């Protein structure tokens, strides 16, 4: 087929121009490992508690932003974060557990021009109310912010004590939303109990095309309770790439504007109606562009989601 002719669509033209860097500021993205193409405004989802809308792709910082005092690596992360905001990103998630990540995020934010869309999310991860308050106060300084959009209790550690603090801080305006987190498969029973009984706004847990346990209970419960859902480990800490990247992306992935495996995995997650945002982590600008590409264009419908599951299970 002649690619330059009557069949050329506006989208195809814009994508081709974007790949050559000819259309800055259009929301078009061109990235490595298979160009990531996207068009139009970034997809956002409402936070049920307030109706405030946030982009469906955020950024995690486990490992990737824990670079210590190395200035060269820090400045490289500035570029990654710049790419995130340039492509319409907002939510950045971290934790005191992630070594120097919070400090490095603060370092980057001071060097980025267009960080107005920042939706700051971190966690408290320690025992006792007193130590929790101290740790959260440290996080304000490390990030260089006056208030956090979201403060979460990490892995339910001493959640009763910390939620008391967070309820107070929310009423004082120090944090806008409060939530709880867990990671792959751990303490789901207790997690569901807190979801069902406590006045929280956000939950964060693991969900991806391979790890779908959350579909049974946590995701329906979040929808029922009106809780925003942040999905961590969307690539199973990179293991999904190790397992599937050697296989070609199925041609039908193009039906929902999916240009690479990163977008395949992410679009599967954010196409679940109860999911508010997925938080892939990366230390590379080209991978950030791929990830952010998932926030644009159509999403797979229910039948397509089933096809995606069957496909990865067949590989």
Binding site for other proteins (CB under 8 A): 62-63, 66-70, 73, 96-100, 237-239, 283
Q: In angstroms, give the least distance from the CB of 100 to other proteins.
A: 5
Taking the complex as a whole, the smallest distance from the CB of residue 125 to other proteins amounts, in Å, to 8
The residue among 102 and 201 lying less far from other proteins, judged by its C-beta, is: 102
Q: Which is nearer to other proteins, 26 or 128 (CB)?
A: 128
Q: Which residue, 136 or 259, has its beta carbon nearer to other proteins? A: 136
In this complex, which beta carbon is closest to other proteins, that of residue 95 or of residue 271?
Answer: 95
- Site of tokens 């971190």: 122
Give least dist CB 104 to other proteins, A: 10
- Whole-number minimum distance, CB 21 to other proteins, in Å? 29
Q: Which is nearer to other proteins, 27 or 99 (CB)?
A: 99
Nearer to other proteins, 69 or 164 (CB): 69
Smallest gap from Cβ 210 to other proteins, in A, equals 15
CB of 99 to other proteins, least distance (A): 4
- Pair 58, 119: CB distance under 8 Å: yes
């Amino acid at each position: 087929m002649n690619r330059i002719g009557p069949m050329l669509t506006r989208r195809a033209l814009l994508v081709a121009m974007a790949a050559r860097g000819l259309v800055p500021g259009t929301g078009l993205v061109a990235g490595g490992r298979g160009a990531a193409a996207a068009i139009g405004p970034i997809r956002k989802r409402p936070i049920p508690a307030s109706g405030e809308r946030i982009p469906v792709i955020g950024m995690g910082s486990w490992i990737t932003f824990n670079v210590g005092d190395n200035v060269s690596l820090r400045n490289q992360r500035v570029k990654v974060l710049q790419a995130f905001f340039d492509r319409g990103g907002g939510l950045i998630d971290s934790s005191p557990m992630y070594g120097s990540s919070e400090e490095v995020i603060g370092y980057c934010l001071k060097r980025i021009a267009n960080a107005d869309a920042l939706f700051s999310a971190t966690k408290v991860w320690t025992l006792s109310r007193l130590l929790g308050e101290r740790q959260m106060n440290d996080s304000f300084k490390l990030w260089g912010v006056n208030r956090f959009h979201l403060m979460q209790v990490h892995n339910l550690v001493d959640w009763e004590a910390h939620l008391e603090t967070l309820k107070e801080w929310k009423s004082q305006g120090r944090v806008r939303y409060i939530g709880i987190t867990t990671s792959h498969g751990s303490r789901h029973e207790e997690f569901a109990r807190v979801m069902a009984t406590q006045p929280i706004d956000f939950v964060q847990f693991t969900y991806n095309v391979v790890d779908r346990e959350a579909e049974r209970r946590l995701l329906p419960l979040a929808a029922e309770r009106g809780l925003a859902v942040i999905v961590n480990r969307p690539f199973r800490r990179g293991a999904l790439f190790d397992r599937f990247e050697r296989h070609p992306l199925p041609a039908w992935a193009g039906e929902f504007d999916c240009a690479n495996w990163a977008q395949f995995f992410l679009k599967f997650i954010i196409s679940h109606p109860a999911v508010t945002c997925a938080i892939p982590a990366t230390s590379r600008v080209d991978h950030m562009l791929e990830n952010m590409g998932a926030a644009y264009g159509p999403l797979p419908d229910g039948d397509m989601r089933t096809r995606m599951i069957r496909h990865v299970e067949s590989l």
